[in-house]
Amino acid sequence: MLRKIYQQQQPYTRVTPLLVAESLSKLIHGEVLVKAESLQKTGAFKFRGAIYRLLQMTPEQRQQGVTAYSSGNFARGLAAAGKILNVKVTLVMPADAPENKICSARKLGAQVVLCQQIEPSREEAAQKLSEDIAAQNGSVLLHPFDDPEIIKGQSAVGVELVHQLQEKQARCQSLLCPVGGGSLVAGCSLLFDTFNTGTQVYGIEPEGYAGMNQSLLVDQLSRAPGKNLSHCDALLSRSPGKANFEVVRQTGVKGLQVSEHYVVEAVQMAFEELKLVLEPSGAIALGALLQYPLQFNGQSVVVIATGGNIDKGLFLELMNK
């Protein structure tokens, strides 16, 4: 079934490269490969889930249009998918979302509504506003990550990765995935569990926003405090999606938190060595190797780098730190 999902996406998505990270390989005395999902259409894996979700809708549902909330990358992916499939897209985005992501969604034809409210959290406020808008305009309400069809769509990253590993005759003992709401790590862990590869999947989160990690530790859905300052704007969900958490719990995913220092170092390393321009959220899994090299000593590791939609000013600021 997962291969069929990938095949449905193929006419619309790009095959993203699997790169060798030589300095990280030396650091862990093993082999590190980087799945450069930042080179996917719209700069993030979110496009895969968005296009698949719209493809599963009936013609009548597509005619109604869709409404969703997002801080940026899902918004951009959904806007692009809507443009391709001629589906009207309304997006609720936090007013403090990166300006380049807001402008990009609008250029792709989506109607963007900015949410000024930040209490009880900017995510909850934006979700509530999107629910109100969908009720008013009769559109189909989509959740950016807590949606079984979107999780299936994200599993295509794993399907493509497995094919590439087979072509390279390479192993993957550990897979490191960034986690916001958890759809990517859920989709990938579902894929690797289905194929019984023996791969240990890790969900990587910023310190202070490790809702998935905390939920795994207490074995129930939980919320992170969300008080730390972080450049990882795409990973600031304080609690994972329910559907994602259930998949992650059942497939034995482990969690790691990464400090801001190592996130910045990962952005720098990705550009200097891999020639990838990554936003902090997209570089965080690389940061996990920098922060915890001994945990992966001697292993064959694959890191998913996703999210290349960084503001130019912020990129220059981080590169000069």
- The residue-averaged pLDDT of 8-23 equals 96
Distance CA 93, CA 207 (A): 23
Confidence of residue 155 (pLDDT cuts 50, 70, 90): confident
- pTM confidence score: 0.92
Confidence of residue 147 (pLDDT cuts 50, 70, 90): confident
* Pairing relationship of beta strands 18-20 and 31-36 according to DSSP bridges: antiparallel
* Pairing relationship of beta strands 111-115 and 31-36 according to DSSP bridges: unpaired
Element (H, E) at 309: none
The model's pLDDT over 42-71, given as tens digits with 9 standing for 90+, comes to 999 999 999 999 999 999 999 999 999 987
